[in-house]
Copies of this chain bind each other. A is one copy, B any other.
């Protein structure tokens, strides 16, 4: 029951396919962070010409997964504490806004569906206690729906298309599967209640706290890891 990604363009072209594949590989860390991207090599690897590949690279740059320098090539971004902090600063503000707008604009039916989703998460969570499933899919799915509920196209685009994959990259590569799962669930529930009560201000505040808590959790993980 995955929600439709807004940027999924219906006529799927070769560039789209290779984009999704590379995106996944970078997020998963299969293409090492900081490593150079060779256009001819990737083209051969995916068995297509450089034209659609360059189209894909342009979109990878758009979601901050690679950095390109004219005439010098592209490199996979390197994760850093500074980058993580900047990213989460933005998310706190933007998803807070999304929450406030969602409280204003979400239809009652959408709110009901969101509640249903949370119930579903609860049961799944009980079954797979301690696994990273919730963080990987469930959490992001909840955030997704709230963002879409804001009904602000620019906001949706920035959060779901441009920052989303980077957030996932930090989570995946830092191994986010800690004990924050159950607490995060409670926070989601509180946010949903605020939205359902049409209390945009509270929803904003709770979402900011939720993301700040998530950030601190990752920072702790980062300290332990070293880098």
Contact with B along A49-61 (1 / 0, CB 8 A): 0010011001100
Q: Determine whether the beta carbon of B11 is less than 8 Å from that of A154.
A: no
- A90 contacts which chain B residues (CB < 8 A)? 97, 152, 154-155, 158
A168 located at the interface, meaning its Cβ lies under 8 Å from any Cβ of chain B in the complex: no
What chain B residues lie within 8 Å of A69 (beta carbons)? Answer: 9
Stoichiometry, copies per complex: 2
Cα-based distance from A83 to B152 in the complex (angstroms):
8
Q: A9-B70, A10-B70, A158-B158 are in contact. Are A152 and B86 (CB under 8 A)?
A: yes
Interface contact A152-B89, CB-CB below 8 Å: yes
- Given A58-B59, A90-B155, A93-B94, 11 more A-B residue pairs with CB atoms under 8 Å apart are A11-B71, A58-B58, A62-B62, A64-B157, A89-B101, A89-B152, A90-B97, A90-B152, A94-B94, A154-B163, A158-B162
Number of A residues, CB within 8 Å of B: 34
Q: Taking CB as reference atom, which chain B residue is nearest A72?
A: B11
| Closest A-B pairs by Cβ, 4 of them | A11-B70, A86-B152, A58-B58, A93-B97
Tell me the nearest residue of chain B to A68, going by C-beta.
Answer: B9
